[in-house]
Amino acid sequence: MSITVKPIAYTDPEMKDFLRVPYLVQGDNPLYVPPLMIQQKDVLDPKKGPFHKFGTAQYFVVYDGGRPVGRLSAHVNPRHEELHSPDEGFFGFFECENNPEASRALFDAACQWLAKRGKKAILGPMGFGIYEEVGILVDGFDTMPALLQTYNPPYYPDLVEGYGFTKAQDWYAFGGLPKQDLPIRGNFKERLPQILEQTGYTMRQPSADEIITRSDEALRLFNDAWGPNWGHVPFTNEEFKHILKELKPVLRPNLMRAAFDENDEMIAYLINAPDINPAIRAMRGRLTPWGIARLYWEARYRTPRRIRSLIMGVRKEHQGRRIHLALMMSIYMEFLKFPLENWDCSLIAESNRATLRAYRVFEAEIYKTWRVYRYEMES
């Protein structure tokens, strides 16, 4: 049977194949959580996805005897080029059957497309940005991914490395259960007010509406705090507001903390959300009216059994004053109220040593690892 790769525009009929490949490849795996189709379409649509305002992407589907067996995107990001290297392009949305010939054809197509645009190296996989779904899962295949994490079969690293890709950066998820007998927990009630008194900060539970209303402030804080992160590209206002809009249904005040200075300016925050992936898995990525109602109930009202810590950031000039520990102490005591099955803290780059140390204070353990790869293309 012949292997063929076809470049796909969003408006092409074959876009249906691009969208259904993940289900064809992984749909039978009980741990796989498919993307919500409506959200995936919006991200990929050049008229709706915020990335397309400044970046360029090409979609590819590989066929084996006319049957779709894999997909990926190739894309260029001018904002990454300004901060990092004009020689680097990306691949993302990678899914493929255990077929080295098919995956090689996909990577060949992506490299050729990027080479025509002057790129000498390809990084991936990742969505259209470093803070979207990122990496190939290389460890932790035995548990369901948390909200907004990727999952793939164990053979994916072989397909990628077999082409010649090598490790660029690992990203970790810490997991576990909050412990009533955590050795340092006895000091939380004393240390938390001490930190706030020493710094002069106040801390409260912001609402989702407050975070969205103060999105410009929250965006500046995030871009400032995460500036040193590996591969960091600052969010645009449109990207950040799009993310907050997508996250709003799962943002509960009791799962969020924010710190403010004497002028009521936000200087740090920690955002957690109920992990509703089991419910998404049950719907197989498709939103029916009943499914929307169920997801809303899971996100807003059900006592959480799985929680994902999504974002923590402290403005640079306020770092080193232990405010991140105060945020974590406060939310940790909140988590002890719930019958949790898993607390996921992710994704943390292996180069982000300060955050890695912070989670280890709470005796969280790394339970999943994703890898971003790099390939030097032949000139």
| DSSP string covering 17-69 | HHHHHHHHHHTT-TT--PPPHHHHHHHH-TTT-GGGGT-EEEEEEEEETTEEE
Report residue 86 CA to chain centroid gap.
24
Q: Which of 172, 196, 215 is at the close of a domain? A: 172
CATH number for the domain that contains residue 33: 3.40.630.30
Domain check: are 87 and 135 in the same one?
Answer: yes
pLDDT number for residue 289: 77
Domain check: are 74 and 55 in the same one?
Answer: yes
- Can you tell me the mean pLDDT for 274-279? 94
Domain check: are 348 and 212 in the same one?
Answer: yes
pLDDT number for residue 106: 98
Q: Which of 140, 172, 204 is at the close of a domain? A: 172
pLDDT number for residue 186: 65
Domain check: are 227 and 113 in the same one?
Answer: no
pLDDT at 183 over 70: no
Alpha helix (H) ranges present in 200-256?
Answer: 208-213, 215-225, 237-247
Domain check: are 160 and 306 in the same one?
Answer: no
Q: Please tell me the distance from the alpha carbon of residue 331 to that of residue 250, in angstroms, as a whole number.
A: 16
Report yes or no on 371 lying in a domain.
no
Q: Residue 54: name the closest of 23, 80, 22, 77 by CA.
A: 77
Q: Kindly report which listed range (5-14, 49-58, 223-232) carries the lowest average pLDDT score.
A: 223-232
pLDDT number for residue 185: 64
pLDDT at 242 over 90: no
Report yes or no on 313 lying in a domain.
yes
Report yes or no on 60 lying in a domain.
yes
Strand partners, 92: 73
- Measure the N-to-C terminal CA separation of the chain; round to a whole number of Å: 31
Domain extent for 298? 183-363
Instruction: Indicate the DSSP class of residue 134.
Output: B
Report yes or no on 377 lying in a domain.
no
Q: Residue 26: name the closest of 38, 35, 15, 39 by CA.
A: 35
Q: Please tell me the distance from the alpha carbon of residue 341 to that of residue 307, in angstroms, as a whole number.
A: 9
Q: Share the mean pLDDT of the chain.
A: 92
Q: Which of 138, 172, 206 is at the close of a domain? A: 172
Report yes or no on 198 lying in a domain.
yes
Domain check: are 230 and 310 in the same one?
Answer: yes
For the chain, what is the domain count? 2
Domain check: are 145 and 224 in the same one?
Answer: no
- Can you tell me the mean pLDDT for 310-322? 90
Domain check: are 216 and 314 in the same one?
Answer: yes
- Can you tell me the mean pLDDT for 58-84? 96
The token pair at 331 is 């939310």
Report yes or no on 375 lying in a domain.
no
Domain check: are 49 and 129 in the same one?
Answer: yes
Domain check: are 203 and 156 in the same one?
Answer: no
Domain check: are 310 and 258 in the same one?
Answer: yes
Q: What percent of the chain has pLDDT over 70?
A: 98
- Can you tell me the mean pLDDT for 139-168? 97
Report yes or no on 374 lying in a domain.
no
pLDDT at 149 over 80: yes
pLDDT number for residue 133: 87
Report yes or no on 178 lying in a domain.
no
pLDDT number for residue 24: 95
Domain check: are 317 and 275 in the same one?
Answer: yes
Q: What is the pTM of this model?
A: 0.93
Q: Kindly report which listed range (53-57, 91-95, 319-323) carries the lowest average pLDDT score.
A: 319-323
